[in-house]
Structure 1
Amino acid sequence: MESQSDCMYKMAKTILKNEEDVADAMAETVLVCWEKLSTLKENRYVKTWMIRILMNKCYDLLRKKELLLTEDTVSEADAREDGYGMAEWEQVLQGLDEKYRLVMLLYYVDGFKIREVSEILDIPAATVKTRLVRGRKQLADEMKMERGRTL
C-alpha cells in the first residue's frame, strides 16, 4: 500500500482539492484495505481494488461536506484553495470536466490500461475510450484558446 501512496494522493487530490480531506480519504482507504484484505480474490488486482476504495471514500467525503455546508457558507477563498506544491499534472488537468480528468489521470498519469480504468470507475471500456478522446479534445481546445489570448 505504501508503494501506491503517490498514485493514491494524485487521485484523491484530483477529486477533493483539499489537503486535509485528501489525508482523511487516504487514511480511511488504508484502514479499509487492511480490514478487507481477505476479500481480495486476486493479488494482481490490489492496485485497482485500492484505487476504487479510495475513490469511494473521496466521494463519501464530498457527500458529507455537501450535507454540512451550503454554498452560501463556503467563501470564495476556500473554493480557490490551491494547497502547497501544486503539481504540473494538476495544472494541465484542472480545466477538464471531472469525468474526463479522472479517466485521463488514471490512464496517462498512473499508467492504468483501459480495461483497468473501466474496472476502477465501473464504466464500460468504450466509455473510457470516448472520455479519453473527448478529454484530449477539450485540452486541445483550451490550448488553442490560450494561444489566442497570448497573441
Structure 2
Amino acid sequence: MATEIPRELVRNLNDTIQTLSDAAIDLKGALIHRRVDEIWEILTIKEEYAQKLESYISLWDEIVDKESSDEELQAIRRDIKEKVFTLHELETHNASLSRSYLASIRKALNEVSDEHGQKATYNKDGKSKQNNHFIVRQFG
C-alpha cells in the first residue's frame, strides 16, 4: 500500500528548517561580533520558527506511516533528518559561543565590582576618602 506523501508539509518542514539554519548562521556572526540587538532579534525569529517546526514534526508523525517502504518517502525522511542534524550542529556551536559570551560578560562585571566599585584613595592630606566610580567612567 503506497503512502501518499504530504508535499505541502514536506515543503513547510524544509522551509522552516532552512530558516532556522540561516538564523543559526546569523546568530553565530552576531555572537562573534557581540551585536546584542541583533542577537535578540534573531532569537525572536528562532523561537517563532522552532514552534512551527515542532508542530510540523508532530503533524508529520500523525500523517506519515513510519513503517512505510515507499522509497520516495524514505528519501524525503533521510533528507529531513540530515537537515535537522546540520541544524543541531549549528545550534551546538552557537551554544558554545553563547556560553563564552556570557562568561566574558560575567568576568567583566566581576572585575567592575571587585576593582572598580568603591575603593579607598587618599587626598593631599593623607586622609582616606571614598571614591565611587561608575562603569561608564572606567571603560568609557
| TM-score range relative to shorter protein | 0.3 to 0.5
Structure 1 length normalisation: TM-score? 0.33
Structure 2 length normalisation: TM-score? 0.34
State which structure, 1 or 2, has the greater radius of gyration over its C-alpha atoms: 2
Which structure dedicates a bigger proportion of its chain to strand? Answer: 2
Higher relative contact order (CA 8 A, sep 6+): 2
